[in-house]
Amino acid sequence: MFEREIADFLGRFRSLFSQQIQRTSAFFEIACYNDLVRYYENIGFTVIPKNIQPRNRQFVYALSASAKPANCSFFLLEKRYATHGTKAFELRHNLRIQSSHDPGVFVSPDYVVVNPGSVESLRDPHYYNGKVDYDYVSAANLQTFAETKHYLPSPELILNFVGLVNELMPSLMVGTAAKSTPKHLGPSLFISGSGNTHHEKIKLSLARRYRINVFLGLFARRSQIYSIRNQGNLIKIGTR
């Protein structure tokens, strides 16, 4: 099911999907990445696949946090504003982000929206014995991010996401997030399993306190992410 859906999605961009994947969780992760692309399309962005393999136009997803950004494809997001010019961002998969609190700490959300051309590299004996570039993006260049969990929800699973938000976008924890153009989806946790009343209460509480989205039951209802009819229920940061 997922493989055909992913192939059809990339076909819209004259690109191919040919990576070998065995785990359902990996297919689900890729499908949610594509749904984020649809989200940005539906709020008026032009989406352009980048770093496609030239020989067969293969779109290469970053299937692990150790994947080299230079070897992986991504989507460029562009939107033109009458008074703000064109805004551009990169929607990337499994890219390291440097902590807002400590420059020596890095985490790799499943999906990030970052400023274009913001990938940096360092060589440090603590990473790959200093023999290989360690690629990352500083938190200052992060616009938003999302994480996927192919599990049944639990209070602990949902609340752990708050730690990532604090590490990468701490302004959301104290209500001082930037209110500039454009509007992005707030940091989001995508959970495949359906929740109960308690999980829904936690979801609403986090949305109110920290501008966080928690999506439940995505395995059956992934259109929650990109559906135009559901836009009013999504937590967003920024304006326009």
The percentage of residues in the chain with a pLDDT greater than 90, rounded to a whole number, is 76
Local confidence band at 180 (pLDDT 50, 70, 90 cut-offs): confident
Domain boundaries, the chain: 2-237
Residue 75 sits at φ, ψ, to 5 deg, of: -110, 130
What angle is formed at CA 172 by the lines to CA 237 and CA 34, rounded to 5 degrees? 50
Distance from C-alpha of 153 to C-alpha of 215, rounded to nearest angstrom: 10
- Token digits of residue 27: 């297919």
pTM of the full structure: 0.93
pLDDT of residue 127: 65
- How many Å apart are CA 94 and CA 67, to the nearest integer? 8
The model's pLDDT over 86-106, given as tens digits with 9 standing for 90+, comes to 999 999 999 999 999 999 999
pLDDT tens digits for range 147-167? 999 999 999 999 999 999 999
Please say whether the beta carbons of 202 and 175 come within 8 A: no
